[in-house]
A and B are shown apart, each in its own frame.
Chain A
Amino acid sequence: EAQVTQNPRYLITVTGKKLTVTCSQNMNHEYMSWYRQDPGLGLRQIYYSMNVEVTDKGDVPEGYKVSRKEKRNFPLILESPSPNQTSLYFCASSLRPWETQYFGPGTRLLVL
């Protein structure tokens, strides 16, 4: 089944404790993105990647890192999480940016 998977789905952590949210797709897509979704603000793009080893900042990259060592995986790293990073995070992928984008189920993060 073609899908985007994210792990974990739910995470509670404390300020400053490094964490990684994994994202994997099995559709051989080149374009992958991370978004955060906050009430009243909609979805905002954090980082995106056009292909392996190519990543670019989105609208809200501060406090986040990504890597794209393999085509299928695009982990999101929070080196030192802060409470303002409490949010719902979505990973997405598409063959090209202008093709249908498939979203993962989301990761709900709470930073205390």
Chain B
Amino acid sequence: GESVGLHLPTLSVQEGDNSIINCAYSNSASDYFIWYKQESGKGPQFIIDIRSNMDKRQGQRVTVLLNKTVKHLSLQIAATQPGDSAVYFCAGLNTGNQFYFGTGTSLTVIP
């Protein structure tokens, strides 16, 4: 079946460093991908998205890279701050309008 997975369950970075969170997907027909942030006790919050006709998209301090050849997605957070500590999920939308989520990477920012 279709799947979206994250490479590392946990990631620790120093405050001010850049963070990179990776994700792999299995369905080459997926044409829309999203990164979510989930803080403890809250619902997922949209960070950034990318369509399959793009390979890079930038937001405020965040960049998403899409490599369709190896079916890989990454989220880069620049100058990581303590408020960035959370669980990050990638998700893909298949052609049937169904979403598949990764299991999440827990990011801890060390002051």
Residue A74, interface by CB 8 Å: no
Identify A103's interface contact among B45, B100, B104, CB under 8 A: B45
Please measure, in the bound complex, the distance between the C-alpha atom of A35 and the C-alpha atom of B23, giving whole angstroms: 20
Question: How many residues of B are counted as interface, with CB atoms below 8 angstroms from the partner's CB atoms?
Answer: 23
B65-111, CB < 8 A from A:
89, 91, 93, 96-104
**Contacts between the two chains (Cβ within 8 Å), count:** 60
A36-53, CB < 8 A from B:
40-45, 48, 50
Please measure, in the bound complex, the distance between the C-alpha atom of A90 and the C-alpha atom of B97, giving whole angstroms: 18
Please measure, in the bound complex, the distance between the C-alpha atom of A107 and the C-alpha atom of B37, giving whole angstroms: 18
A14-47, CB < 8 A from B:
31, 33, 35, 40-45
Identify B98's interface contact among A4, A59, A103, A104, CB under 8 A: A59
Nearest-neighbour CB distance to chain A for B47, whole angstroms, equals 10
CB-CB under 8 A for A105 and B51, given A33-B99, A58-B98, A98-B93: no
Q: Say whether chain A's binding surface is mostly helix, strand, loop, or mixed.
A: strand
Q: Which residue of A lies closest to B99 (CB)?
A: A45
Please measure, in the bound complex, the distance between the C-alpha atom of A78 and the C-alpha atom of B46, giving whole angstroms: 28
Please measure, in the bound complex, the distance between the C-alpha atom of A40 and the C-alpha atom of B5, giving whole angstroms: 11
Residues from chain A with a CB closer than 8 A to the CB of B1 are 59
Please measure, in the bound complex, the distance between the C-alpha atom of A101 and the C-alpha atom of B91, giving whole angstroms: 11
Residues from chain B with a CB closer than 8 A to the CB of A104 are 43
Nearest-neighbour CB distance to chain B for A69, whole angstroms, equals 20
Residue A100, interface by CB 8 Å: yes
Nearest-neighbour CB distance to chain B for A64, whole angstroms, equals 15
Q: Which 3 A-B pairs have the closest CB atoms?
A: A103-B43, A42-B103, A43-B101
